[in-house]
Structure 1
Amino acid sequence: MLALFKQFSEKRSTWFLLAFSSLALELTALYFQYGMGLQPCVLCVYERLAMSGLFLAGIIGFLAPRSLIVRLISLALGLFSGIKGLIIAIRHLDLQMNPAPWKQCEFLPNFPETLPFHQWFPSIFNPTGTCDNSQWSLFGITMVQWLVAIFAVYVIVLVVILIAQVKKTRRQRRLFN
């Protein structure tokens, strides 16, 4: 099974799928903001940045999927982004499910001074909403609950692919060469 995941990770289509799916989710978020008028909060902006990290990991892996170094770099970036996104989405879900006056999110994003994404790309990373407000749901599941599930799937798949990279594969014996 792990050998299958390793072979899967050596194909451009795998990394294209990662880049395409994360870009589609990023574009969906922008549609929600500009098409439907939903206002993103600070945690939404952080989740967008994590999704952008997954997109970048897919692009890097797409460039040279047969190179172990490139795959490991892509997996490291993808896992970092996926885990951070999952942690942020869980925190965001906690704010929505268990609102309290002492549990608030910031009004402005806390990006490093050297990477002020909200100033460089204000149309994508500038928050205008509040974190405790659930503005959209599908099948009774809120947007943040969907994000928890999506980031969890990304993390699980990337962990399995990482394990497949470091696990030695057994050579199959053939009766006839």
Structure 2
Amino acid sequence: MIANLFQQFKQAPMGTLSSWEQQRPVWLVMSAASLFLILSAMGYFQWFLEMDPCEICVYIRFSQCCILFAGLIIAINPRISVLKLIGLALAWYGVLQGMAWSIELNVLHDSSHALDDVMASGGDLFAAGGGGGACSTEPHFPLGLPLHEWLPYEFQPSGICGEDDWTLLGLNMAQYCIIAYTFFIVALAPVTAGTVKNLISK
């Protein structure tokens, strides 16, 4: 089946994209991928590994929720232009903002761990300008949403930015988030192009 889809794409790229973006499963897959990331953060990192989320971590979770709801909005009926435009705007906001927060978290992670020698010699991480200086326990979400009060387990920061020591295959959590958002961009761009083509042709 996948081979047939790629064969169709090869023969008529824009026509195939226009067809894909009008199918509900495409958008449900996007929502499912985002839900997987959210549940991984809560279940594996926060509950199993007992890694408290930092301020930027909960912002990244928020961006993933934006992508999740964007896919669900479009999946109501992918042929309704208003739902499609609202969903795409929300999805692109979540993807681009999430990428920016992931890059910021990676920078803080690198700067924090670069000071290991300072800490080993009795230095002060915060006085030396380490990663935790950018953190707050009072997050500020868009539109003033008090998500940390509504869903404290998910959105209340209690960790220090960049202080996690988790790695897999040499990459840290922030770098895996960057990879995830890159995949979202690669997947979202063509279906957005298909949407634009359909809107123009109407």
User: Shorter-chain TM-score: what band?
Assistant: 0.7 to 0.9
Aligned match of 1:46: 59
CA contact (8 A) 1:75 1:162 kept: yes
Residue 56 of structure 1 corresponds to which residue in structure 2? Answer: 69
- Within the candidate set 92, 96, 101, 2:129 is matched to 101
Residue 121 of structure 2 corresponds to none
Give the distance between the partners of 1:112 and 1:55, measured in 2 at CA. Answer: 16
CA distance in 2, matches of 1:112, 1:142: 27
Task: Identify which range, 58-67 or 93-102, moves more after superposition.
Answer: 93-102
Structure 2 match to 1:175: none
What letter corresponds to residue 129 of structure 1 in structure 2?
G
Which moves more between the two structures, 70-79 or 106-115? Answer: 106-115
Q: CA offsets, 1:129-168, max 9 Å, x none? A: 1112133221111111000111122123222221222236
Matching of residue 158 in structure 1 with residue 158 in structure 2: no
AA aligned to 1:13 is P
Give the TM-score, by structure 2 length. Answer: 0.77
Report the Cα distance in structure 2 between the residues aligned to 1:147 and 1:86, rounded to whole angstroms: 8
Pairs within 5 Å for 1:158-177: 158-167=188-197
The one-letter code sitting in structure 2 at the alignment partner of 1:95 is L
- C-alpha deviation, 1:112, in angstroms: 5.6
Distance apart, 1:2 and its partner CA: 2.6
Q: Mind listing any 5+ residue stretches in structure 2 that lack a counterpart?
A: 1-12, 113-127
The equivalent residue for 2:42 is: 30
Per mean C-alpha deviation after superposition, the further-off stretch among 54-63 and 157-166 is 157-166
Q: Is the 8 A contact 2:32 2:68 kept in 1?
A: yes
Q: Provide the rounded CA distance (Å) in 2 between the counterparts of 1:112 and 1:43.
A: 13
CA distance in 1, matches of 2:134, 2:147: 18
State how far apart, in whole Å, the 2-side matches of 1:38 and 1:67 are: 42
State whether residues 17 and 193 of structure 2, in contact with CA within 8 Å, keep that contact through their aligned partners in structure 1: no
Q: Which has the larger radius of gyration?
A: 2
Amino acid at match of 1:153: F
* Greater share of helix: 2
In the superposition, the TM-score normalised over structure 1's length comes to: 0.88
Q: Is the 8 A contact 2:31 2:69 kept in 1?
A: yes
SS at match of 1:167: helix
Total equivalences in the alignment: 170
Shift of 1:102: 6.7
Q: CA-to-partner distance for each residue in 1:98-155, whole Å, 9 max, x for gaps?
A: 3460763222212368411111110100111111213322111111100011112212
Whether 2:150 is the aligned partner of 1:133: answer: no
Aligned residues with identical type, % of pairs:
29
Unaligned 5+ runs, structure 1:
170-177
Structure-2 separation of matches of 1:68 and 1:85:
25
